[in-house]
Structure 1
């Protein structure tokens, strides 16, 4: 079978360990080109990672005949632009999360790729991690009975000081579409879509309690899944400490796990508490990259596509709608 030759647009921090080496280590895959607007940084990345080519122009990388597929690892504000350019070039595209600035942009990306018959993958890599596959197996095997409800809680201290002259790009709504909620909660909402199925309805509120920046720093929501299971979620980014806890409660027990820890699962039933210890892969996107490569080489479909990622973006859009309209 053909080896899939990848190019990366935006070889920044996320590509150093989490994703970039996965394209080199996955079976049937190789990384042949990288791009960054700063040519010196692109050349440095290529030299350190053994990548044959580097560019400071995304269009040149996309047009490179040796590049079969493209990984877009830029901030969300440019995801739509590059995904559509890859589609126009007829090249499969793997886009970082969140998929785009809004559900409407996601629709445009999906339509462009469908029109040209180009696969569109999104980097919600938790769908391929053994940790979450084990949780899904527990749910499907009936280990905790029928799922009744779910709670999602994440909070952390503020990342910036009052009066900061510059804010990180993850707090710039023009670049991300929101604040840390969009960047971090998207992982939780997407993996719940994977574990429990699509969300049917959502209501929520967002606000800014600490006043350190313009975007939201707290979001709460209530959800109903198509299965009938219900959920609540709270995300706060100006709290006193760190918490990352999800509970799926069923008719016979519950499963307790984290979105970002990915190392410990607790299964609580009448028989007691079972603790399942897991080890995270070094290159955490590699399992999903492998499934994408397998699909491109004629294998089974991979689990994170434009359609599923758009559902997550739509849920976040709804939770932030009032805040963005000035009605927190």
Structure 2
């Protein structure tokens, strides 16, 4: 706990880019007991514009200046993963809790360094795997714990997307390993793997094959297949392809009495199939998709709740991604 229950938790954003426009920035302002007080972007005009449009009182072009702002209680790092480690170490050194975008860092080793720095500074470290706070995934967890499909046997994931496009003739940062950790697998599959950790606990064994089939972006994987086993004994498999003909997103959890079908990124209803028939559970997407998780983080910081997405849980996801792509990124 960092404040008493009567005070607002004041956030400062490092890197107020697209992810913060709707997904998170407004959520920091609208969550109960929360306030967004400062933003930083290297381009001063863009930083000032963001602050004006979002009603934020102060803006900076220097990250350390925001970290040192005495009115910033929590530092939200919304930059590409390549800078997460450095900014987290700086925030921890200043004695400030950290909320960092996903993936947590470029790899498991950097995650461990971030966790250690925050532990030594005695400040909490949260990661924006916001699906842990969304009602639809909480419902999946509730159905599993209630035995709706009996004993879980296995889970399978199938996700495809069309090939990404250049942006203004340049390769997007998500396809630059020095900034993202890898290809789109690291950016997108991380959400699914984190959800599975949330539902079943840690993955203790993982094996995968990662390849570049299309050749347009040769430095990164575009297709990954993998198998894994959870500490709970559940088996899992996944296929991700980011150079396919269409978008598809499906997770199936099969049990002794039925199965659950849901997507990671879509908002279509959860589907429960058993011998008794089919049940549908619809959910509306929140206006600001990170707000439910932000609320749990704010509650924990104010001493009235707990947040399910921490540095420790996020590091496990990075570890699994490293394992599934190890062969591709350790080629001679």
- Is residue 326 of structure 1 aligned with residue 331 of structure 2? yes
- Is residue 248 of structure 1 aligned with residue 267 of structure 2? no
Residue 255 of structure 1 deviates from its aligned partner by 0.2
Residue 67 of structure 1 deviates from its aligned partner by 0.5
Residue 165 of structure 1 deviates from its aligned partner by 4.7
Which one is further off, 239-248 or 152-161? Answer: 152-161
Residue 276 of structure 1 deviates from its aligned partner by 1.0
In 2, the alpha carbon distance for the partners of 1:44 and 1:264 equals 38
- Is residue 86 of structure 1 aligned with residue 96 of structure 2? no
Residue 326 of structure 1 deviates from its aligned partner by 1.6
2:3 is matched with none
SS in 2 for 1:239: coil
Q: Find 1:14's aligned residue among 12, 16, 19.
A: 19
2:107 is matched with 102
In 1, the alpha carbon distance for the partners of 2:201 and 2:78 equals 27
Residue 174 of structure 1 deviates from its aligned partner by 0.6
1:45 is matched with 50
In 2, the alpha carbon distance for the partners of 1:157 and 1:62 equals 39
Residue 264 of structure 1 deviates from its aligned partner by 1.1
In 2, the alpha carbon distance for the partners of 1:121 and 1:11 equals 18
Task: State the 4+ residue runs in structure 1 displaced beyond 4 angstroms.
Answer: none
In 1, the alpha carbon distance for the partners of 2:308 and 2:198 equals 8
Q: Find 1:111's aligned residue among 96, 106, 116.
A: 116
Q: Find 2:212's aligned residue among 201, 208, 216.
A: 208
Q: Find 2:196's aligned residue among 192, 203, 213.
A: 192
Native 8 Å contact 1:160 1:212 kept in 2: no
2:160 is matched with 155
Aligned length: 325
In 2, the alpha carbon distance for the partners of 1:32 and 1:160 equals 35
Structure 2: tracts of 5 or more residues without a match: 1-5
In 2, the alpha carbon distance for the partners of 1:146 and 1:49 equals 47
- Is residue 228 of structure 1 aligned with residue 233 of structure 2? yes
In 2, the alpha carbon distance for the partners of 1:211 and 1:3 equals 50
Structure 1: tracts of 5 or more residues without a match: none
Native 8 Å contact 1:131 1:263 kept in 2: no
1:284 is matched with 289
SS in 2 for 1:2: coil
Q: Find 1:237's aligned residue among 239, 242, 245.
A: 242
Alpha-carbon RMSD across the aligned residues, in angstroms, is 1.0
Residue 227 of structure 1 deviates from its aligned partner by 1.0
TM-score, normalised to structure 2's length?
A: 0.97
